[in-house]
């Protein structure tokens, strides 16, 4: 969404600058008659800016949601939360050596 917003914003600015020669500002926009290409440039610029802002908001939202999910996954995979004990090969071999020494 951000990439599409940037493309439309830049396209609107380019259309506005090429066709009008200068960027029309809002107070002076209604004092002059506007041709159709100037209106298209203005609409593209406004839509591009809105899409860019929405893209930034969605990036922040989904990043926060992803960090929450990753935190929950990390909590669930910690060894101390498991009810079974994890024995390493070193521990098993140590027990076998102790059992051999006792026999």
Report yes or no on 13 lying in a domain.
yes
Predicted confidence at residue 31, as pLDDT, reads: 57
Report yes or no on 10 lying in a domain.
yes
Report yes or no on 34 lying in a domain.
yes
3-state secondary structure of 97: helix
Would you say residue 28 has pLDDT above 70? no
What is the rounded CA–CA span in Å between residue 17 and residue 23?
6
Report yes or no on 7 lying in a domain.
yes
Report yes or no on 91 lying in a domain.
no
Residues spanned by the domain of 70: 2-78
Tally of domains within the chain: 1
pTM: predicted TM-score of the whole model, two decimal places: 0.54
- Express each pLDDT in 30-71 by its tens digit: 556 667 777 787 788 888 888 888 888 988 898 898 888 888
Predicted confidence at residue 3, as pLDDT, reads: 81
DSSP state of 81: G
Report yes or no on 98 lying in a domain.
no
80 token code pair: 């101390």
Report yes or no on 44 lying in a domain.
yes
Neighbouring C-beta atoms of residue 2, cutoff 10 Å: 14
């Amino acid at each position: 969404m951000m990439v599409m917003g940037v493309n439309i914003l830049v396209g609107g600015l380019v259309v506005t600058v090429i066709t009008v020669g200068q960027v029309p500002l809002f107070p002076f926009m209604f004092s002059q008659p506007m041709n159709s290409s100037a209106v298209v440039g203005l609409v593209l610029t406004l839509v591009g800016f809105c899409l860019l802002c929405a893209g930034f908001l969605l990036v922040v939202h989904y990043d926060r949601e992803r960090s929450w999910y990753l935190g929950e996954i990390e909590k669930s995979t910690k060894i101390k939360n498991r009810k079974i004990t994890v024995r390493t090969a070193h521990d098993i071999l140590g027990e076998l050596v102790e059992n051999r020494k006792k026999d």
